[in-house]
Amino acid sequence: MNLFIARTHLRCALITSLLTLSAVSLSANWSLGFKAGLAPITNGDVHRGLSFDGSVLLGLPAGSLPVDVQAKSFGDVYSKFEEIAFEASYAAGENWTYTLGLGWLSSDDGNLRVGTVAGALPLNGSFSSYEDFEVYAGVRYNFRVTERWNPYVGARLGYKQIDEITASFAVPGTPFNEPFRSALTNAKFYDASNVWAYGLLVGLEYKINDKFSLALETGYHGQGRLKDNDSVVGLLGLNALNDEGDLTYVPVRLSLNFRF
């Protein structure tokens, strides 16, 4: 069973477990929420900018093929991130709420120009999709300005499992010599990583009725650095290329909440 299938089964099992809870007679202080959104603002680099001699890639005399790699951010490589989450909340009083949640952040493959070869030829990079799974806990302070409108602020701490990221590098119309052409196709770039994550939240909730509410929220989220893999880039002396991988982002989420 590959990682994608295993992750899909895990998602289904966790979602089923949460939905099963809705059939259990719980205190009215409990609620379940489904969140979905985008992270249009990100910060942090996927790789650094470096210059090196790439003559070995084409079998040319040493020093004859300068390669300039430009630093690329998560926003450059992955134009947008999508996010979904399931969250259980416990209202401890009029103003305080405690939360437990499961979340997924993902983006499609990234394809872009990452530098130049010999000052003019484009060096293209293709990065595999980004996907992580997070378990988190948080606290929220509710201002409850009216019966229906509830502005709030909050914070949360989580732990993420992030899938490995591979990268391919090529110059259009100019294939690298072997074994470099094969080595630089779907090369290991970041290993699967386990990192801590944190978030600060601000949102506005609207009470539809005694059971349902809608909320719009944003905030600032960050996570630890990915574990770099130098097994391929190290062959070219580029060990520092992927010494990055720390991501911060500003999500915009819409959530639907059901109170027991």
Per-residue pLDDT reduced to its tens digit, 131-140: 999 999 999 9
Instruction: State percent of the chain over pLDDT 70.
Output: 89
Contact, 226 vs 245, CB < 8 A? yes
For the segment(s) 3-259, the CATH number from 2.40.10.120, 3.10.129.10, 3.50.30.10, 2.40.160.20 is 2.40.160.20
Q: Is the peptide bond before 179 cis (omega within 30 degrees of 0)?
A: yes
Return the higher-pLDDT residue of 4 and 216: 216
Per-domain residue ranges of the chain: 3-259
Q: What is the pLDDT of residues 64-94, one digit of tens each?
A: 999 999 999 999 999 889 999 999 999 998 9
The pLDDT value given to residue 260: 85
What pLDDT does 79 receive?
87
Q: How confident is the model at residue 16 (pLDDT cuts 50, 70, 90)?
A: low
Amino acid at 257: N
**pLDDT surpasses 60 at 206:** yes
Mean pLDDT of 104-108: 97
pLDDT reported for residue 18: 53
Place of tokens 């926003």: 75
> What pTM does this model have?
0.87
71 token code pair? 């630093």
pLDDT at 213 over 70: yes
Residue 23 has pLDDT above 50, yes or no: no
Looking at residue 11, its pLDDT comes to 60
Tokens 């052409």 sit on residue? 181
pLDDT at 235: 86
pLDDT, residue 22, reads: 47
Question: How does 140-158 read in b/e, with b if 16+ C-beta sit within 10 Å?
Answer: bebeeeeeeebebebebeb
Band of pLDDT at residue 159, cut at 50, 70 and 90: very high
